[in-house]
Each structure stands twice: as C-alpha cells, then as structure tokens.
C-alpha cells in the first residue's frame, strides 16, 4: 500500500537522471538503492527533502541530491520535497523562520518593509542574519525529524493493516 502511494506521485528515475543540475553526480545516480521504495528509504528521503527545503540557498536540489546519495535514501523524493519552498511559499516560510529565530535568541523582531531589490536584501540580511539562520536551522531539523518519524510510523501502520486484513484478524 505505501509503495503504491509513493510510486504514483514520484517522477521516474530516468527523469531525475536527465535533470541538468543533477548530471554532476554522474554514474552515482545509477545506484539502485537511490531508487528503492521502502520504509527506510522513503522516510529518510522525507527527512532530507524537508531539511533542505528550509536551507536558504538557491542550490537546494543539489544539496538534497548529495544528502540522498550520502544517506542512501530515495533521491527522487528528496529532490522533489525541496520544492515545498517555492517562490510562493518562501516569503512566509522564511519570515516564520526569522520569527522563530528571534524568539530563540531573545531579540525583538524588527519591523521592515519588503522590497524586491538586491540592495534591500543585503542591508536587511546584514542586520538580521543570526535570528533568520537560527530559525531556519531549528525548523529544518524539527520538520525533518517529524517527517521521518511520521512517514515511518504511517508505513508500519499501513503494512500491519494490510497484513491483518490478509490474515482476517483485527489490527
């Protein structure tokens, strides 16, 4: 059951192998463990993808792919989950990360008015990088751990439910 669910939404490994930014990894992408759909691989992929979704760099997909190779998790899901932070969701996500960082560090949040210029970004980031990066790290770590354990437990539950249904016994 969980395998069919994930297989339905995931891109094929040939699509991911052809991605122009992932060609950097070369023949490593042909490792079969990077494409397996099992509990450990999928839960790990969710953790990797959610972690790098909170990393404020433009090359998140490359970092997620490298981490998927290093931890031997499903690469397709790791890379796809990075897109939780997309151009529409980044402003509220990163503002929330900034607020979490100010709360943890103990600084009051600064009032600012957003402008879409590099100059504004450089000036604002210079004064608020500590709470912003602290919040990003806390949210990346907590969401990846929560994602890992949630997927793992849901997978175990689905397998047990399927097994009990097959045997005709209650869960």
Give the tens place of pLDDT for each residue, 109-165. 887 776 657 777 677 777 788 999 999 999 999 999 999 999 999 999 988 988 888
Q: Give pLDDT, residue 115.
A: 65
Stretch 75-79: mean pLDDT: 89
Stretch 92-111: mean pLDDT: 90
Lowest mean pLDDT among 9-23, 85-99, 133-147: 9-23
Residue 17 pLDDT level (bands cut at 50, 70, 90): low
Stretch 9-25: mean pLDDT: 66
Q: How far is CA 14 from CA 7, 86, 90, 96, 129, in A?
A: 14, 23, 29, 36, 39
Q: How far is CA 111 from CA 99, 106, 115, in A?
A: 11, 16, 13
φ/ψ bin of 111: left (φ > 0), alpha (ψ from -120 to 50), beta (otherwise): beta
What percent of the chain has pLDDT above 70? 77
Residues 6+ apart with CB under 8 A from 128: 98, 110
Stretch 44-63: mean pLDDT: 93
Per DSSP, helices labelled H in the chain are: 2-9, 13-17, 39-53, 60-71, 75-81, 90-105, 118-167
Q: Is 86 helix (H, G, I), strand (E, B) or coil?
A: coil
Average pLDDT, the chain: 84
Q: CA torsion angle for 103, 105, 106, 110 (degrees, to 10)?
A: -70
Q: Between 137 and 25, whose confidence is greater? A: 137
User: Highest mean pLDDT range out of 7-21, 33-47, 80-94, 135-149?
Assistant: 135-149
Residue 51 pLDDT level (bands cut at 50, 70, 90): very high
Q: Give pLDDT, residue 45.
A: 95
Pick the closest to residue 148 from 36, 72, 33, 45 (CA basis): 45
Q: Return contacts of 37-41, CB within 8 angstroms, 24+ apart.
A: 37/3, 37/6, 37/7, 37/10, 37/74, 38/3, 39/2, 39/151, 39/152, 39/155, 39/156, 39/159, 40/73, 40/152, 41/72, 41/73, 41/74
pTM for this prediction: 0.79
């Amino acid at each position: 059951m969980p395998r069919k669910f994930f297989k339905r939404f995931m891109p094929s490994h040939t699509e991911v192998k052809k991605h122009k930014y992932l060609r950097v990894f070369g023949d490593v992408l042909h490792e079969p463990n990077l494409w397996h759909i099992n509990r450990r691989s999928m839960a790990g992929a969710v953790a990797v993808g959610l972690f790098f979704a909170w990393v404020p760099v433009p090359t998140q997909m490359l970092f997620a792919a490298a981490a998927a190779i290093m931890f031997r998790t499903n690469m397709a899901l790791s890379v796809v989950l990075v897109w939780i932070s997309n151009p529409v969701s980044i402003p509220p996500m990163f503002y929330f990360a900034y607020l979490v960082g100010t709360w943890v560090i103990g600084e009051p949040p600064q009032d600012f008015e957003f402008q879409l210029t590099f100059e504004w970004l450089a000036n604002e980031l210079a004064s608020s990088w500590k709470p912003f990066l602290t919040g990003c790290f806390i949210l990346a770590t907590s969401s990846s751990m929560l994602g890992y354990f949630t997927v793992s437990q849901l997978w175990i539950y689905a397998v047990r439910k399927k097994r009990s249904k097959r045997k005709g016994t209650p869960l």
